[in-house]
Amino acid sequence: MSGITHCPVALTIAGSDSSGGAGIQADLKTFAALGVHGASAIACLTAQNPRRVLAVETCPPGILRRQIEAVFEEMPPAAVKIGMLFSAENFRVVAEFFGARAARPRVPLVVDPVMVATSGAPLLKPKAVSVLTETLLPLAALVTPNLHEAETLIGRKLVSVEDLRAAARRINASFGCAALVKGGHLHGGREAVDIFFDGRIELLLSAPFIKGVRTHGTGCTYSAAIAGYLARGCNLPHAVKPAKQFITRAIAGSYCIGKHSVLNQLFR
* Residues noted as catalytic: 182, 215, 217-220
The answer to whether residues 15 and 41 touch, using CB atoms and an 8 Å cutoff, is no
Q: How many residues does the chain have?
A: 268
State how far the Cα of 193 lies from the Cα of 205, in Å rounded to an integer: 6
How remote is the C-alpha of 241 from its chain's centroid?
Answer: 15
Q: Diameter of the chain by CA atoms?
A: 59
The one-character DSSP state at 2 is P
Q: Residue 48 burial (CB < 10 Å; 0-12/13-18/19+)?
A: buried
81: which residues sit within 8 A by CB, 6+ positions away? Answer: 10, 11, 12, 13, 14, 27, 110, 112, 223, 224, 226, 227
The one-character DSSP state at 116 is B
State how far the Cα of 221 lies from the Cα of 21, in Å rounded to an integer: 9
The DSSP bridge partners found for residue 146 are: none
Count the neighbouring beta carbons within 10 Å of the beta carbon of residue 16: 20
85: which residues sit within 8 A by CB, 6+ positions away? Answer: 13, 14, 15, 43, 44, 91, 94, 114, 124, 128
The answer to whether residues 193 and 181 touch, using CB atoms and an 8 Å cutoff, is no
